[in-house]
Structure 1
């Protein structure tokens, strides 16, 4: 079972040791991918601790997530009660 991570927990991980982003319902640690990202580290740093779903799908196809996702995924986004 995948670790459940809240949006608040994701928001705490935004430095170069632990940099989380959300894509769909997955949570990914991209800290180790900064130097390898073809678009540069700057965009990943800008999205750190946030939901990057819209931006990710604007520039990437499904194959990118299939290729890199398994190595970077740290959990799934925990559903929170909507009040």
Structure 2
């Protein structure tokens, strides 16, 4: 079962040291192990750490990227009450 997070929970994980979480379409991904692999560079992931990165993600990626990395990087979802 997937863990549920609030936006506050995600916001507290905004650096590689704290665990770099991002939100894409109400799913929460832990990116600290991926920053050095990211083809666009670590700087971009660090900039959106702790935030909803859906808009930025979909601007540069397609569904196949989520399918490829989701199992490895997804740590949970946003709680329904956090989706305001």
Normalised-by-shorter TM-score class: over 0.9
What TM-score do you get using the length of structure 1 for normalisation? Answer: 0.94
The structural deviation recorded for 1:69 is: 1.2
Counterpart of 2:35?
A: 34
Cα 1:82–1:4 shift into 2, 3 Å: closer
Superposed counterparts of 1:2-81, under 5 Å: 2-17=2-17, 18-80=19-81
Structure 1 runs (4+) deviating above 6 angstroms are: none
Structure 1 alignment gaps of length 5 or more: none
